[in-house]
Structure 1
Amino acid sequence: MTAEDETRATVQTSDAYLSEFFGQGGGALSYVDPARASGTAVAHRCVMLISELLASVPLHIYRRGERGQRDRAADHPAYSVLHDMPNPMHTAFDLRQSLIASILTHGNAYAEIERNGRGQVTGLHLIDPGTVTVERLRSGRLRYTVTGSPSKVLLQDEVLHIRYRLARDGVMGQSPIQIGRETFNLALSQNDAASKQAAKGFRPEGAVVFAQSINPNQKADVLDKLRQKIERNDTTSGVLVLDGGADWKPFAFSSKDAEFLESRKLTALDICRIYGVPPSAAGITDNATYSNIGEESRALVQRCLAPMARRIEQTMNAALLTEEGRKLFFIEHDLAGLLRGDMAARYAAYRIGRDGGWLSANEIRRLENLPEIEGGDDYLTPLNMATSGKQEGV
């Protein structure tokens, strides 16, 4: 297939995995509205926590050195796009946070790549994932149709496409909300039930039982009086006076009897598991202690943020750097700041590195965002250590 065959003309497509991508594989509870699901308190906190933390850490373009060292390539044309302003409307934080939130909500995130006449990246522009249709061409490459006013067709080299978990077609990303749709459906149902109870003022439902049969008119009269007493006037006393041998039989379970609150807590924990966020980081502190909160903070970086960061880095390296450029440059997050301990722990670690001879004073000062000092590039050599096999008398 020649390059001329890869055109921007729109074509009719039929994606066999489209229904699976949207979570409509079967069952009445298959589809979950991403907007509603991501609006639940725990899901919103998980999405914002991951997206804001990753968007706040430095994302640099590095230049590989001959001996494996790395230097920030601040002179690279795409450096300011990722570090400062990707376009006149958004900051780098805005764009990166929106992309990650889109991944965690819809499973896919898109940005249009703007290039200059030399093919260098000079801007990134967000694209609403709900307006994008992806087509696989016979060449194996992708074409993106963006609906809107006006609609446009973009080729693979013009789109930054970050996916969550690949679907079976290898093209689209699967939404975590649709993957865990049963959990989110349960959470939404529980929210609806709680809202209905609150709207009714938690008034119990039940039946009025008469010892003898009554006619339909009497039943309607009894129901009308009960509604006037219980539902229509919130200031009315809750005491009921029933005559004619009538007896009130409540049949609604209270929240405590149905363990409703405990069930909502378990659902919140399940949502944290879907996103890989420790409960304490999402605000669930029932079993939190001072020690395990610190461990969970490190687990958040190592088990949740680090894989997401690597997913974004590799996609950006492939989309924003040329094949020749990837031999010299690479894009990477700096997660070191999130893994740093408290001041006492950091300074103790610096002392070990300084006394061991593999950290200089200026390297330590750079880690602490302090200016370099004269003579700070020298390394110490411990007097009581020597190369193995070269001690005196050996």
Structure 2
Amino acid sequence: MGVFQRIREKRMLDSNSLATTLTSIIGAEKITETEAMNIPSLAACVEFISSKVAELPIKLYCECGDETQELTDDKRVSLLNDSTGDLLDCYQLKKAVIRDYLLFGNGYIYPEKRRNQFVSLRYIKQNNVNCVKNSDPIFKKADFMIYDRKFRDDELIRVLRSSTDGVTGTGVIDEANELLTVIYKTMIFEKYLVVNGGNKKGFLKSARKLSDEAMESLRNAWNKLYSNNGNNMMLLNDGIDFKESSNTSVEMQLNENKKANNDYVCEIFNLSPSVIAGTANDESYTTAIKTAVMPVIRAFETALNQGLLLESERHRHYFAFDTTELLKGDILKRYQAYQIGLANNFLQADEVRYKEDL
């Protein structure tokens, strides 16, 4: 019985070693930001969502009794919509934060304050922020290190995606790393085919031993054939044969796989491929706004209410995006909505003209 036990343990050890080896060779590779943004469908999805959010104005409201008033003369409104006080303008700041939010799950802004007055909003690239957390799963605390400076968790505005600790999130690069890696490797394979003139990989088989001069001549002819410069050719003498090494079924289905993978990328962002292609109808576009853009807007609003409101303002003040800008491209629907608002007396003519910049 002891012999069989040792054999069983050895098999388990061999299986674990094999799994560890395969993971280290295949699974450990992680796609980078530059590689991910080279994938057209992913870059288009990130551009669509980030640009839609960045073009929206952000307003500050105050609940005063039974009325809700918009505060237009607050410095924070100016920082969010006009000038951030940083090199990035407000559009670039919002777009950069959303890009980091989508790709890495973390978007950071440093709100510079002098006493209780906000003077600037400064975007911080997510890879410049290091989070130091305690080990308590209930009473969680964290500090942030940016270069040689230490910040408390309430000193940074954090826009987080799929967060479980309140200080770090999970982006699509980590969530769909295997899929994105496959798509990127497919693009590299296509690039290889283009660079090599579409010639397949393979090896040469010789019936007899070749001399050094013959080997060198064959090597030069081989390099010319795969250089993709003009109409190159090579002659194989008697006894030398070419054997293909990459004639697989996957190679014959690259176009089908590429289209399916691009659709999967759109699904990660809750977008329809027709929206990215620019062929979506009004219903598909509205669905894309609801499923892909609005959750990002809500995450951004929550982060602003957490980081830009003073303690005395938290019960009555709140920031909100003006989402009516999303429908400004459809003038018929916009005017029909104004007509309903005017007919039911919750909009006035001067308010409609203000929304239309008249």
TM-score (norm 1): 0.74
Q: What amino acid is the match of 2:174?
A: Q
Aligned to 1:16: none
Structure 2 runs not aligned, ≥5 long: 1-22
1:353 to partner: Cα distance: 4.2
User: Which structure shows the bigger proportion of residues in helix conformation?
Assistant: 2
Q: What amino acid is the match of 1:96?
A: K
**Do 2:342 and 2:349's aligned partners in 1 also have CA atoms closer than 8 Å?**
yes
**Local SS of the residue matching 1:215:** coil
For 2:228 and 2:303, locate their aligned partners in 1 and report how far apart those are by CA, in whole Å. Answer: 60
The counterpart of 1:264, out of the listed 258, 263, 267, is: 258
Aligned to 1:145: 145
**Do 2:80 and 2:90's aligned partners in 1 also have CA atoms closer than 8 Å?**
yes
**Do 1:301 and 1:339's aligned partners in 2 also have CA atoms closer than 8 Å?**
no
Question: Identity of aligned pairs, percent?
Answer: 22
**Local SS of the residue matching 1:133:** strand
Q: What amino acid is the match of 1:199?
A: V
**Local SS of the residue matching 1:321:** coil
For 2:265 and 2:143, locate their aligned partners in 1 and report how far apart those are by CA, in whole Å. Answer: 34
**Local SS of the residue matching 1:165:** coil
For 1:232 and 1:346, locate their aligned partners in 2 and report how far apart those are by CA, in whole Å. Answer: 57
Q: What amino acid is the match of 2:322?
A: D
Aligned to 2:184: 188
1:246 to partner: Cα distance: 6.0
Aligned to 1:49: 48
The counterpart of 1:309, out of the listed 289, 297, 316, is: 297
Q: Any idea what the Cα deviations from partners look like across 1:228-267, whole Å, max 9, x if unmatched? A: 66235733454x6555376655554499961112211211
Q: Figure out how many residues of one structure are paired with residues of the other and give that number.
A: 330
**Local SS of the residue matching 1:174:** coil
Q: What amino acid is the match of 2:58?
A: L
Q: What amino acid is the match of 2:109?
A: A
For 1:178 and 1:99, locate their aligned partners in 2 and report how far apart those are by CA, in whole Å. Answer: 17
For 2:74 and 2:124, locate their aligned partners in 1 and report how far apart those are by CA, in whole Å. Answer: 24
Give the alignment of 1:257-296 within 5 angstroms: 258-283=252-277, 288=279, 292-296=280-284
Aligned to 2:306: 318
Aligned to 1:390: none
**Do 1:255 and 1:261's aligned partners in 2 also have CA atoms closer than 8 Å?**
no
Is 1:37 the counterpart of 2:33? The answer is no
Structure-2 change in CA distance of 1:227 and 1:295 (3 Å): same
1:128 to partner: Cα distance: 2.4
Structure-2 change in CA distance of 1:295 and 1:224 (3 Å): same
Structure-2 change in CA distance of 1:182 and 1:349 (3 Å): same
Aligned to 2:100: 102
**Local SS of the residue matching 1:324:** helix
Q: What amino acid is the match of 1:300?
A: A
Give the alignment of 1:359-370 within 5 angstroms: 359-370=347-358
User: What root-mean-square deviation, in Å, do the aligned CA atoms of Structure 1 and Structure 2 show?
Assistant: 2.9
Structure-2 change in CA distance of 1:73 and 1:358 (3 Å): closer
Is 1:133 the counterpart of 2:121? The answer is no
1:341 to partner: Cα distance: 6.5
Give the alignment of 1:167-182 within 5 angstroms: 167=164, 169-182=165-178
Structure-2 change in CA distance of 1:88 and 1:224 (3 Å): closer
Aligned to 1:332: 320
Q: What amino acid is the match of 2:225?
A: I
Is 1:160 the counterpart of 2:148? The answer is no
For 1:136 and 1:232, locate their aligned partners in 2 and report how far apart those are by CA, in whole Å. Answer: 53
1:190 to partner: Cα distance: 0.7
Structure-2 change in CA distance of 1:281 and 1:207 (3 Å): same
Q: Which stretch of structure 1 is more off in the superposition, 250-259 or 301-310?
A: 250-259
Is 1:224 the counterpart of 2:219? The answer is yes
TM-score (norm 2): 0.81
Q: Any idea what the Cα deviations from partners look like across 1:273-312, whole Å, max 9, x if unmatched? A: 11223213323x6xx4xxx432222122111111100001
**Do 2:157 and 2:306's aligned partners in 1 also have CA atoms closer than 8 Å?**
no
Aligned to 2:229: 234
Structure 1 runs not aligned, ≥5 long: 1-25, 371-394
**Local SS of the residue matching 1:276:** coil
1:126 to partner: Cα distance: 1.8
1:357 to partner: Cα distance: 5.0
The counterpart of 1:120, out of the listed 117, 120, 130, is: 117
**Do 1:277 and 1:304's aligned partners in 2 also have CA atoms closer than 8 Å?**
yes
Q: What amino acid is the match of 1:277?
A: L
Give the alignment of 1:55-66 within 5 angstroms: 55-66=54-65
**Do 1:313 and 1:331's aligned partners in 2 also have CA atoms closer than 8 Å?**
yes
